[in-house]
Amino acid sequence: MKKLSVNPNFIFLIVFTALLSACNTTPSAPVNKGEMVEYFADNALSTPLAIVQHPAGIYKDGVTYVSYQGPLTDPYVAAYHHQTKQWQGPFQAGESDLGRMNKKKPDNHGKPTMLIDELGYIHIFFGGHGGSPKDGKNLLGNYNSGRNKHVVSKRPGDISEWQELKNISVFGTYNQAIKMDNGDIYLIYRHGAHRSDWVYQKSTDHGRTFEAPVSFLKHKPHETKNNHDSWYVWATRGHNDDIIMSYDYHVCPNDTRARGHIPVRHDLYYMVFNTKNNTWRNVQSEPLSIPVTRQVADAKTLVTRTGGDDMWTFNGSAHLDQQGNPHLSINIGKDMGKPWGGSKQTRYYRWTGESWVGGNLVNPKQHKSKGSEGDFIIHSPTDIQFTLAYQEKNNDAIVADFHSQDGGKTFVKGQELLKRSDVSWSVSSLIENAHPDARILVAERPKGTQWRKIYLLGDNGPVKRAKSEALVLKEADKVIFK
């Protein structure tokens, strides 16, 4: 009998293909798993999302990756595969200090921020609210609690396993992560608690190391009033090598004995960071020296005053149109006698090339009891689309699109993406590089519990999931926060 000859290269190819198939983490085609629900997880905690910690989600290579604050304020990450319509996760990505401090209510300042580097590894920044003196001396601000942390996926595109990289300042709060075209990563945050500089840290090796923090907004005592100058920032990619920033002024009172710390914030500002030559400028291209003080901000970067002492602000977002002109949103409302009280309604501004215009309400029919938050995209300099989460007079909580065809003079309500009764919302900024079916994250906040269902919304409403997969909250997770 003739002996059979087999090419060893062919054997290697078969074995390699089998191993590759076994390691593939992409879910297979969907199967019937019973009842479908509109949320993808039920273990989001307290205020699990915010506009300022961003991006909370990124679309890449057919997958939408999302992050949120879960049990013990830890970061959780899930992924939706659009072709197979299958979910993965959520997986716990790290361990936050803020949920392990024996407090009755969660500290929500450490919500996760996501970035995917040029090699496909997923990074999560989370857990910080200023650190504490035991973490060392904060030369750029004051302390509160919770160390800022950084974890990265062990494999590109795989959310199932994570490792911590101790390479960023532990004093960070309100992380915002930006990747430039050349792969450089900028992590932007407040370097401590309320009385702290805003800084950036730069990485040129895919987030494996970061340079020392650089201050760009300065905190300092007010020169005449019994207050302290501080800031809240929202930053994102501009065009080419630019990072654009909108920000508001935080009046931090020195005497807080009556009500504790009061989050009074006013006005709206804008400036640009050219990362190629490390220069800063205002909207008129006048150079700025950093760190910018309140006096310089008022003289060079002011967009608008937002009203009297009783009119407070809360961060919106900023984007550029095709001509390179900035468009901004800010949430403005009246203090109702308690922190975060009143109705903060979303207003819109844009730069025409010569002046700032706008200030109109995006949702003029909104009830004045709960306020609105959201983000927007620019289809053209005069064609703007907002996605807002808000509450109506009958206590219906709604997430809906609003459109303007006249440069923000008027907005018309479009489709409703989600509606619930007797809840309030937490909402993210828009998913980075979003797929039309998965544009924004929202979490409903019912009364009487700290636990939230969380949704991924797009043009067709919620991205659904089998109920058996979406019920992920464990009884053991409810021990500290009821």
User: For residues 461 and 38, what is the distance between their CA atoms, to the nearest angstrom?
Assistant: 9
What pLDDT does 393 receive?
A: 77
- Residue pair 358/316 in contact by the 8 Å Cβ criterion: no
What pLDDT does 395 receive?
A: 83
356 by Cβ neighbours in 10 Å (0-12 / 13-18 / 19+) ranks as middle
- Residue pair 85/30 in contact by the 8 Å Cβ criterion: yes
133 by Cβ neighbours in 10 Å (0-12 / 13-18 / 19+) ranks as exposed
What pLDDT does 104 receive?
A: 85
Taking alpha carbons only, the member of 360, 465, 476 closest to residue 37 is 465
What pLDDT does 26 receive?
A: 58
Looking at domain 43-478, which of 3.40.50.300, 2.102.10.10, 1.20.140.10, 2.120.10.70 is its CATH number?
2.120.10.70
Peptide bond just before 133 cis, omega within 30 deg: no
336 by Cβ neighbours in 10 Å (0-12 / 13-18 / 19+) ranks as middle
Domain residue ranges in the chain: 43-478
Helix (H) or strand (E) holding 17: helix 8-23
pLDDT in tens, 168-195: 999 999 999 999 999 999 999 999 999 9
* Cα–Cα distances in angstroms (integers) from residue 76 to residues 72, 111, 167, in the given order: 11, 10, 21
Stated pTM of the model: 0.92
What pLDDT does 34 receive?
A: 87
User: For residues 326 and 381, what is the distance between their CA atoms, to the nearest angstrom?
Assistant: 9
CB atoms within 10 A of CB 154: 13
* Cα–Cα distances in angstroms (integers) from residue 240 to residues 178, 182, 203, 247, 445, in the given order: 13, 10, 18, 21, 39
Q: What is the CA radius of gyration of the chain?
A: 23
Residues of the chain with pLDDT under 70: 1-32, 256-260, 335-342, 367-370
Q: Residue 357 corresponds to which amino acid?
A: V
Taking alpha carbons only, the member of 251, 270, 252 closest to residue 329 is 270
As annotated, the active-site residues are 109, 174
What pLDDT does 341 receive?
A: 52
- Residue pair 29/84 in contact by the 8 Å Cβ criterion: yes
Taking alpha carbons only, the member of 469, 470, 472, 463 closest to residue 85 is 463
User: For residues 80 and 93, what is the distance between their CA atoms, to the nearest angstrom?
Assistant: 17
What pLDDT does 254 receive?
A: 83
Extract the tokens encoding 43. Answer: 């273990």
Extract the tokens encoding 11. Answer: 């054997």
Edge-to-edge order in the sheet of strand 311-320: 311-320, 326-334, 345-351, 356-361
pLDDT in tens, 112-136: 999 999 999 999 999 999 999 999 9
